[in-house]
Each structure stands twice: as C-alpha cells, then as structure tokens.
Amino acid sequence: MIPMQGKNALPELSQRQRREIEYHKDHARQYAEKYRSIDFAVVSFTERRWWNAYWEMYRHIALADMHGRRALVVGCGFGHDAVLLAKLGAQVSAFDLSAELLAIGQDLAARYELNVDFQQMPAERLSYQDGEFDFVLIVDILHHCDVPRALSELARVSKPGATWVIDEIYTHSALQLVRESTVIMRFVYPLVSQLLYAGKPYITDDERKLDERDVAEIRHWIRADRIDYYEAIVKRFVPVRGRALSKLDRLLLVGLRPVAPLLGGRFVMSGVLERAAAGRIVDSGLNSAATRAHERAPAPGC
Ligand SMILES: C[S@@+](CC[C@H](N)C(=O)[O-])C[C@H]1O[C@@H](n2cnc3c(N)ncnc32)[C@H](O)[C@@H]1O
C-alpha cells in the first residue's frame, strides 16, 4: 500500500491549508465518479490543440522527454496528470493536501497499472530530499498556495537544471482592480457567474489568481524564454462551448502579444531551474511575509 502521508508526519498546517483540506473533502465526493477514468489522447501526441492551454502544456511536456525521469506533480488533485506522466515513462511522485483526492488518484493509477508514489503534504513544506527531481509539473495549484514558499520548496527538491512546466490561472493586477470594482461586482459578476457556473463554482475561500508579480517570482527561479497567455474571454465571460471561441480567444492573444499579459486569464510556461534554493525553510511562520503583504480578499473566479 502506498503511504498516504509524507514519509515524515504531516507538518503543522496553516488555517488556510486546513480550509483547503475541508473544502476538498466535499469536492472529492462530488466528482469522484467523473474522475475515475482517464483519457490518454493528450499524451498520444498525434493531435495538436494550439488554442487549449492544457494541450499546449503537454506539448511542453513532450519536449522535456519524460522517459525514465524523476517527475514531481505538485498539488495533483485527482491524479490524472501524475498517471499521464507515468504513462509517458516517468518515475512519478505526486502530492496533495487532500487525502480524499489522493485516494482517487491511487485507485486511478492501480486501474491503469501505472506506478505513482502519492503522498499527502503541503506544497509549502515538502518531505522530499534536496535535488530529487528532474521535472516538476505545476497545474492550477500555485494559486492555492503561499507562492514564494512553495516555489522555494520546489526549487529545493529539484535537481540543478530541472525542467518546470507551469499552467496556471492568472489575472493582471490592473485588470483585477477593474474586476473588483463595484460596478463589475454588483452588476456584471452575478450575470457572468450564472452563465459560467450552472451550479456551485469550484473556488475555495483562499484561492487567488496569480498575477504578474507571481510570474516575476517564478522567473526568479527558472529561465523561461516565453510565456503564452490564454482565456481572455472563454471561462471569464463565456463557458467553453465548442472550439471556435477558444481559437478566436487564443488568436486574439497571439495578435495582441504585447498586451497579452494584461488580458490573459491563464498562462503556460516552461523553463529550466537556474537558481539553487537556499535550503529548507526553517522559521515557524506558516505564511511568508511576501505572501502576507500580497494577500487580499478572495477574488471572483471568473
Ligand atoms: C484546482 S485543484 C488542481 C488539482 C490538479 N493540479 C489539477 O490540475 O487537476 C487544487 C489542488 O490543490 C490542492 N492544494 C491546495 N492547497 C495546497 C497546498 N498548500 N499544498 C498542496 N496541495 C494543495 C487541493 O487539495 C487541490 O487538489
């Protein structure tokens, strides 16, 4: 049986991390059936979906060549990416805060006879050794974390020159100010939210979209030649319906490349770790000063 907890006991958790665990208990129950199978099309590499951030993320992964590499999947949720990397021949470790989600990931790996080492731990304090991983996959997780702490821990457990691939939701801070304005919050958000989320949106109390300052923080660690933006319109104002709008959305951001960081709602980037982490964070504060200064009221998810 794969251990569901880090090799050391779970460290002391922050209130925020506890709230994430509580939230995802219900989330795991609600979506367990939906995520009990996996579509391997994205790793067949016979098809390209240039307008889709997730598919483009797998193009970055293909370039990194997973075979035999020690890969880490950060905040792995239901475990799909962990299983997909294992399918590509990587030796995969994956962690999350939620024991319920990890259990589903574990079942999934067993179902497809693929080996993934699932562990329960927070991104801000990893129980892996220094320099264990050649490759780190970060998908929709940093915006749930104390970003500087998580990045510093990921740098610590990465080998020098390790590849990181990142696909995260994003809003530029200037656009965020507009989104938080009274007019938008009172009149536009309720309408858009109705259109986007028929039921309850998947937004935790503490999550906060990454912005240009977080991108700069990531660039502090990795050398990334380019960063591609997606979803200026789709998932912000309209739900994903068919491919035409998503294609238009992506073309718009390619055409308006200089202002794409202002308009984009998601980014994909990859790069090579350039900087050695100073070592394990030892102070007792559960959130970094940088994140505390950066924190603000949770933002609407659309
Ligand atoms: C939006 S989901 C993304 C899951 C997965 N990466 C994906 O793309 O499907 C966010 C995940 O982060 C996990 N999480 C939240 N805060 C965390 C933290 N501090 N450390 C590790 N995992 C965390 C949650 O339990 C949840 O599984």
Q: Which residue, among 141, 142, 138, 144, has the nearest Cα to 16 in the 3D structure?
A: 144
| Within a domain: 122 | yes
> pLDDT at residue 292 above 50?
no
| Within a domain: 220 | yes
| Within a domain: 176 | no
Count of structural domains within the chain: 1
- DSSP letters, 94-156, are EEES-HHHHHHHHHHHHHTT--EEEEE--TTS--SPTT-EEEEEEES-GGGS-HHHHHHHHHH
- The residue contributing the CA closest to ligand 1 atom 13 is 75
State in Å: Cα 290 to ligand 1 middle.
21
Say yes or no: CB of residue 90 within 6 Å of ligand 1.
no
| Within a domain: 48 | yes
- For 78, the 3-state DSSP assignment is coil
CATH of residue 282's domain is 3.40.50.150
| Within a domain: 46 | yes
Between CA 263 and CA 109 the distance in angstroms is: 37
| Within a domain: 55 | yes
Between CA 181 and CA 36 the distance in angstroms is: 40
* Banded pLDDT at 298 (limits 50, 70, 90): very low
pLDDT digits 0-9 by tens, 219-264: 999 999 889 999 999 988 778 888 999 999 999 999 999 999 999 9
Say yes or no: CB of residue 101 within 6 Å of ligand 1.
yes
* Banded pLDDT at 125 (limits 50, 70, 90): very high
| Within a domain: 237 | yes
CA distances from 70 to 61, 93, 132, 200 (A): 13, 8, 7, 37
Say yes or no: CB of residue 141 within 6 Å of ligand 1.
yes
State in Å: Cα 255 to ligand 1 middle.
32
Q: What average pLDDT score do residues 157-180 get?
A: 94
Say yes or no: CB of residue 236 within 6 Å of ligand 1.
no
pLDDT digits 0-9 by tens, 52-111: 999 999 999 999 989 999 999 999 999 999 999 999 999 999 999 999 999 999 999 999
**Domain hosting residue 215, numbered range:** 10-171+207-293
* Banded pLDDT at 296 (limits 50, 70, 90): very low
| Within a domain: 191 | no
